[in-house]
Amino acid sequence: MPVALGYVDVLDLLRDRGLRMTPQRRAIVSEVMRTNGHIAPAAIARTIEGEMPGVNPSTVYRTLALLEDVGVLQHSHLESGAEYHKADEAQHVHLTCHRCGRDDALSIEEAAKLSRLIRQHHGFEADLTHFAITGLCKDCAAA
Ligand SMILES: [Zn+2]
Ligand SMILES: [Zn+2]
Ligand SMILES: [Zn+2]
């Protein structure tokens, strides 16, 4: 289980990789660490743009990818596109409603039965955290 890292630890991790900690990168890391739950790249880009006009969104996307490389973040594909979690918060399976967009989650314990079922098929080890399972939420299914 990865441990939760603080802002300073994350800056150290990036510096250890030989990255120059520019004011833009610092602002991005700080925004990521402040965000609870899902981290949508476009939302981070908008916030950073508001704080530091002129920051290229590609700098934001690259920094998020670097944060994944060093193990701080992990991405999942949701109905709305790829979003990040802090790596220690990523162990759940998304259930996304394709009609209303509601996002629910199965705990990894709840998903264990499904993993076992899939494993019985030629020993396949599924990573159920990577892609959302799409369908209809209870309300949309009843409508
Ligand atoms: Zn999630
Ligand atoms: Zn992916
Ligand atoms: Zn729905």
Which ligand has an atom closest to residue 75 CA? 2
Ligand nearest to the CA of 98: 3
| pLDDT of 2 over the 70 cut | no
Ligand 2 midpoint to CA 128 (Å)? 11
* CA–centroid distance, residue 143 to ligand 2 (Å): 32
pTM for the structure as a whole: 0.87
Average the pLDDT over 97-126 and give the result.
Answer: 95
**Ligand 3 center from residue 38 Cα (angstroms):** 19
Euclidean distance between CA atoms 94 and 130, whole angstroms: 9
Ligand 1 centre from 59 Cα, in Å? Answer: 24
State which H helix or E strand residue 96 sits in.
Answer: strand 92-97
Count of helices and strands (H, E) across the chain: 6, 5
78 pLDDT higher than 50: yes
Give residues with Cβ within 8 angstroms of 5, minimum separation 6: 13, 72
Cβ contact 29:84 at 8 Å: no
